[in-house]
Amino acid sequence: MQKKILVTGGAGYIGSHTVVELQNSGYEVVIIDDFSNSLPDSLKGIESITGKKPFFEQLDLCDAAGLKLFFNKHKNIAGCIHFAASKAVGESVNKPLHYYRNNLNSLMNLMECMIANGVEPLVFSSSCTVYGQPEKLPVTEDAPILKALAPYGNTKQICEEIIQDTITSGVKVKAIALRYFNPIGAHPSAKIGELPQGIPNNLVPYITQTAFGVRKELSVYGNDYNTPDGSCIRDYIHVVDLAKAHVIAISRLINGINKKPYEIFNLGTGNGYSVFEVIKAFEKASGKPLPHKVVPRREGDIEKIYADTKFANEELGWKAQLGIDDMMAHAWAWEQYYRKATHA
Ligand code: WQD
């Protein structure tokens, strides 16, 4: 009998790639998504890759009554992977109440339903943004949590505390928080990928849209940082590597091999790339020059961050396999497929 996993936000960027890897690993998947930052096409993309149609229900996790009904219908959920949240750093500065209400209530409603229905394993989508600008690099999981620069990052910090405090209260939940560094790229099939609504905040979708001609040129936010080429450094990780780590994490909890009721892992490659190095890697992958210009720094950007991946490598037996060239090639293939398929 296949174990059933609930994936909230499973039509989203990281969620859809995780659903593919869950199905490839023999899990049955049920998805809840409200399509606030995703499209139904992602569900078709998942099925076209795995040949398996995940059960789907359109639901806002802030609808507590609706979520209770969902859990009444699905009695045998073995574990939950929680992606559903608003995640644009800049937008969160302009809409703090939306971010606190959405990101905190959705987690609390989910955990209440899990506890009421005896569903214990929870994998939570967190972010390296909780570290702010770390004093020491590479950054380890026990690095101090610095004051978040934007409400988005603060919701991630508060959600991690909600999980910790709930588990400390003695209820039967066991959780793993995965702190992503910078997820980029797309499934090698080019059937699913990142679908930013409107003008992309993030670097790589802006690069691929510029290369396709959707945007005129990329603005590089500052070249006066204390880094070798002056641009910011990040730890970019392929979304498929990230997805695979989620399958390992939920399986770890379901099989009871977690060592503590709440574990936290960095998910990065351990390599830092500057903006200019990413541009160069993209030009190599696409075979075309990328129009770009340097503009002043973006408010809230940290200078450099990359992960110490030892804990995830040793405890989860997981290590990122794909490099920056694959990330660029797959991101570009997805952009071309998406624009041609949707004529957008
Ligand atoms: C990367 C680098 C920019 C756009 C955020 C969140 C993180 C996660 C990923 C959700 C920076 C530079 C960017 C552009 C640029 N989000 N840049 N021109 O800010 O590191 O991380 O998104 O889970 O939690 O904090 O990612 O892709 O926005 O920026 O020069 O048009 O690219 O200055 O140095 P970031 P990003």
For position 160, what pLDDT does the model report? 98
pLDDT (average), residues 265-290: 98
For position 343, what pLDDT does the model report? 66
Residues 237 and 182: their CA atoms lie apart, in Å, by: 6
For position 196, what pLDDT does the model report? 74
Q: pLDDT (tens digit, 9 = 90+) per residue, 16-56? A: 999 999 999 999 999 999 999 888 999 999 999 999 999 99
pLDDT (average), residues 178-200: 94
20 Cα–ligand 1 center, Å? 25
Minimal-distance CA residue to ligand 1 atom 33: 221
| Ligand 1 contact, 252 CB (< 6 A) | no
The answer to whether the pTM exceeds 0.85 is: yes
On the question of pLDDT at 195 being above 90, the answer is no
Confidence of residue 77 (pLDDT cuts 50, 70, 90): very high
Nearest to 166 by CA among 120, 135, 129: 120
Contact 223, 229 (CB under 8 A): yes
In the residue annotation, 152 being an active-site residue is answered as yes
Catalytic residue among 152, 225, 262, 306: 152
Higher pLDDT, 195 or 196: 195
197 exposed, middle or buried (CB, 10 Å; 0-12, 13-18, 19+)?
exposed
Ligand 1 atom at minimum distance from 302 CA: 34
For position 198, what pLDDT does the model report? 87
For position 193, what pLDDT does the model report? 96
- 58: which strand partners? 33
Percent of the chain with pLDDT over 70: 99
For position 344, what pLDDT does the model report? 61
Residues 95 and 40: their CA atoms lie apart, in Å, by: 25
pLDDT (average), residues 101-129: 98
For position 38, what pLDDT does the model report? 87
